């Protein structure tokens, strides 16, 4: 069978390109307009020793350009690159300094989407020939002067850098760069530490995260606290910080955060409001990564399988995991219904056993020695533990 393959022209980048050295306080990322495009996503990339990483920094852009201040650009993180999971100093300095590093080279790309969220074109990809090679997407950021603390980071002297940033911030409470770097260094150190054995580091990290969100409230900074209080189950502070997050979040896709909010409402017993939030989030998130939580809530509220099966069939989960079957939840629900049979107490027991999922007590699920007529129930509950 023959299939026609159509190569869409790649989006041409206009500025910054070709190793431009940017010195202004704002950067205007400009690209050619794509016919039929309703929105664009801007990806920003950081180069490391022997590699690089790129991630979506701004989504739902309505025009063929976006002006970004250096203050906002400095907030963008590209993930952590390291060579040894047991060695904090193995982290690549470029990943910590990110876009505040005047010595490093950066790159960018754009994706164009239609009104239904379908990809129309992008700036990076296969080109038909040398004559179609456009502007190179590389640039340097040289608006600031590197500090002595920054130099410690470049030399991988992270304890010295942390001390220097703390000293700098203590002497100048307007020094957001130092406060930002304190947070990055502490968070990275925490990820390389058995935090159950270092409560002092955990508390110090949280105190600086709270301070940073207080003096410089952004969607990104508040999201860190949203996730902290979600994972700790402190619902009073979670609800408070989530409302603040909504005030400062930009126009990007918030389907993940909205789904987290729906999960939090479910865990708090606000079942009807949780359903409303799940319904909104599932429409926005094409991967449907939280569909399992939504289905559990519907089973809880309806005390029947019908609507949950309809939702599972129309919202297949397309997870990033290569071994994930999109029909997983449909299969599980059908098996669950078959196992329930005429047992009128089955769904009541299922709801009762959801406490392991709802209250972060996985041992209640994993250690349960399910009898033969409850093996599918246990499999369903174990699948719920993976919803995140």
- Could you give the percent of the chain with pLDDT greater than 70? 93
**Is the per-residue pLDDT at 83 higher than 60?**
yes
Instruction: Return the DSSP state at 63.
Output: S
Gap between the Cα atoms of 225 and 374, Å rounded: 38
Give the residue-averaged pLDDT of 308-319.
Answer: 91
pTM assigned to the model: 0.85
Given strand 13-15, what is the order of strands in its sheet? 13-15, 26-31, 65-69
Give the residue-averaged pLDDT of 106-132.
Answer: 82
Of 26-30, 239-243, 247-251, the least confident: 247-251
Of 62-71, 111-120, 130-139, the least confident: 130-139
Residue 155 pLDDT level (bands cut at 50, 70, 90): very high
Rounded to the nearest 5°, which phi and psi values hold at 22? -90, 125
Of 93-97, 127-131, 193-197, the least confident: 127-131
Percentages helix, strand, coil for the chain, rounded to the nearest 5? 50, 15, 35
| Dihedral of alpha carbons 318, 322, 324, 327, sign | positive
**Is the per-residue pLDDT at 1 higher than 50?**
no
Gap between the Cα atoms of 290 and 255, Å rounded: 10
- The pLDDT value recorded for residue 7 is 56
Written as six digits, the tokens of 241 are 């910080």
Question: Whole-number mean pLDDT of the chain?
Answer: 91
Best-predicted range by mean pLDDT (70-79, 188-197, 200-209): 200-209
The DSSP code sequence of 244-307 is: HHHHH--SS--HHHHHHHHHHHHHHT-HHHHHHHHHHHHHH-TT-TTHHHHHHHHHHHHSSSHH
Reported as type and span, the H/E element at residue 150 is helix 148-154
Give the residue-averaged pLDDT of 229-247.
Answer: 95
Residue 78 pLDDT level (bands cut at 50, 70, 90): confident
Between the alpha carbon of residue 286 and those of residues 90, 283, 291, the distances in Å are: 36, 7, 11
Q: How many helices (H) and strands (E) does the chain have?
A: 17, 9
- The pLDDT value recorded for residue 252 is 67
Q: In CATH, what number does 13-141 get?
A: 2.60.40.10
**Is the per-residue pLDDT at 129 higher than 70?**
no
- The pLDDT value recorded for residue 296 is 96
**Is the per-residue pLDDT at 180 higher than 60?**
yes
Residue 126 pLDDT level (bands cut at 50, 70, 90): low
Residue 128 pLDDT level (bands cut at 50, 70, 90): very low
**Is the per-residue pLDDT at 380 higher than 80?**
yes
Residue 365 pLDDT level (bands cut at 50, 70, 90): very high
- Could you give the percent of the chain with pLDDT greater than 90? 76
Q: What is the pLDDT of residues 5-46, one digit of tens each?
A: 455 789 999 999 999 999 999 999 999 999 999 999 999 999
Q: Let me know: does 91 contact 193? Beta carbons within 8 Å.
A: no
Give the residue-averaged pLDDT of 313-325.
Answer: 76
């Amino acid at each position: 069978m023959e299939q026609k393959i159509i190569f869409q022209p790649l989006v041409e980048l206009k500025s910054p390109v070709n190793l431009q050295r940017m010195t202004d306080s704002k950067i205007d990322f400009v690209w050619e307009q794509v016919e039929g495009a309703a929105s664009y996503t801007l990806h920003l990339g950081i180069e490391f020793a022997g590699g690089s990483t790129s991630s979506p920094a701004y989504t739902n852009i309505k025009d063929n350009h976006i002006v970004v201040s250096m203050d906002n650009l400095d907030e963008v993180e590209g993930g952590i690159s390291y060579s040894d999971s047991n060695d904090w100093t193995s982290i690549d300095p470029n990943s910590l300094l990110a876009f505040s590093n005047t010595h490093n080279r950066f790159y960018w790309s754009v994706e164009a989407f239609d009104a239904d969220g379908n990809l129309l074109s992008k700036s990076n990809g296969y080109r038909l020939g040398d004559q179609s090679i456009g502007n190179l997407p590389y640039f340097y950021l040289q608006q600031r002067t590197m500090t002595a603390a920054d130099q410690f980071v470049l030399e991988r002297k992270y304890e010295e850098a942390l001390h220097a940033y703390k000293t700098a911030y203590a002497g100048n409470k307007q020094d957001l760069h130092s406060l930002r770097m304190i947070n990055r260094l502490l968070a990275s150190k925490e990820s390389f530490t058995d935090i159950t054995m270092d409560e002092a580091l955990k508390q110090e990290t949280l105190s600086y995260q709270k301070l940073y969100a207080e003096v410089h409230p952004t969607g990104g900074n508040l999201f860190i606290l949203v996730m902290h209080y979600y994972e700790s189950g402190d619902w009073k502070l979670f609800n408070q910080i989530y409302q603040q997050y909504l005030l400062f979040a930009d126009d990007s896709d918030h389907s993940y955060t909205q789904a987290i909010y729906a999960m939090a409402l479910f865990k708090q017993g606000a079942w009807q409001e949780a359903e409303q939030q799940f319904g909104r989030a599932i429409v926005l998130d094409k991967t449907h990564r939280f569909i399992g939580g939504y289905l559990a809530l519907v089973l809880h509220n309806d005390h029947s399988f019908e609507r949950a099966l309809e939702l599972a069939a129309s919202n297949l989960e397309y997870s990033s995991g290569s071994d994930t079957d999109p029909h997983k939840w449909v299969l599980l629900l059908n098996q669950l219904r078959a196992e329930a049979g005429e047992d009128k107490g089955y769904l009541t027991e299922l709801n009762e056993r959801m406490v392991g999922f709802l209250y972060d007590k996985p041992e209640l699920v994993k250690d349960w020695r399910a009898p033969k007529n409850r093996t599918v129930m246990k499999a369903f509950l174990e699948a719920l533990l993976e919803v995140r």
